Structure 1
Amino acid sequence: MIGPLTILSLQVMSLISGVIIMEQIFTLPGLGRLLLIAVQQRDLFLLQGLVIFFASTVILINLCVDLLYKKIDPRITLQGEKQVSA
C-alpha cells in the first residue's frame, strides 16, 4: 500500500501544478489564472500569498501521506519519535 499511496500523492501534487496550465487554456477563473495575472501585473503581495498557499498545500499533502505511512506500517518511525525496543 505504500507504493500506490506515494504515487497518488505525487499525482495530486502534479494536478495542483497543472491547474495553472488548464485554467489558462480553457479560460477558467481560479487560483492558477490568478497566479498568472499576478505575475503579469507584478503584484508581489498577491504572488507571495499564492506561492505560500500552493507550497503549504504541498507540505500538508506530504504530512498526511507520512502519517498514513505510519498508520499502514507500524514499523515505520517518524523522525523525533522514540523507538520502543522489545
Structure 2
Amino acid sequence: MTTARAKGIGPWRVLLRHAFRNSAFGLITVVGLNLGTLIGATVIIEQIFALPGLGQLLLQAINTRDHVVVQACVVLFAVVTVAANLLADLLYAVLDPRIRYGSR
C-alpha cells in the first residue's frame, strides 16, 4: 500500500485494490462458516418475536410430528449452508488468482 501511495494512486483505489482484497479472505471465511448458525438462529428469533417464517414452520411441524415438513426444512437449511460455503470457496479463487481448484 505504501508503494501504491508513493506512485500517486488515489486513496480509494489503494483501499479497494490493495487493502480490501487482502482483508476480504477473513471476512468471507467468517460469513461462510457462520451462515449455518445464523439460519439456525431464525428458529429462536422467530419464536421470541412471534414472526412467521421457516423457523416457526419448523417448530409447528415438530410439535405436530409432521416428519415430511421437518425433513424439508432441515434439507433447505443444509442446502443454504452448503451453498454459502461453496460460494465462499469460489470467492477465494476470484480474489486470489493463485488459488486454483481442480487443475495442476
The two structures share one fold, judged by TM-score above 0.5: yes
Equivalents in 2 of 1:11, 1:30: separation in Å?
Answer: 20
Residue 54 (structure 1) shift: 0.6
Larger Rg belongs to: 2
Sequence identity of aligned pairs in percent? Answer: 43
Does the aligned pair in 1 maintain the 2:61–2:70 contact within 8 Å? yes
Task: Give 2:29's aligned amino acid.
Answer: T
- 1:9 matched to 2:32? The reply is yes
Does the aligned pair in 1 maintain the 2:36–2:77 contact within 8 Å? no
Q: Aligned pair count?
A: 81
What is aligned with 1:50?
73
Task: Give 2:103's aligned amino acid.
Answer: K
Equivalents in 2 of 1:11, 1:82: separation in Å?
Answer: 29
Residue 14 (structure 1) shift: 2.1
Which portions of structure 1, spanning 4 or more consecutive aligned residues, are displaced by more than 6 angstroms?
Answer: none
- What is the RMSD computed on CA atoms of the aligned residues? 1.2
How high is the TM-score relative to the length of structure 2? 0.72
Gaps of 5+ in 2: 1-23
Structure holding more helix per residue: 2
Gaps of 5+ in 1: none
Residue 62 (structure 1) shift: 0.8
What is aligned with 1:40?
63
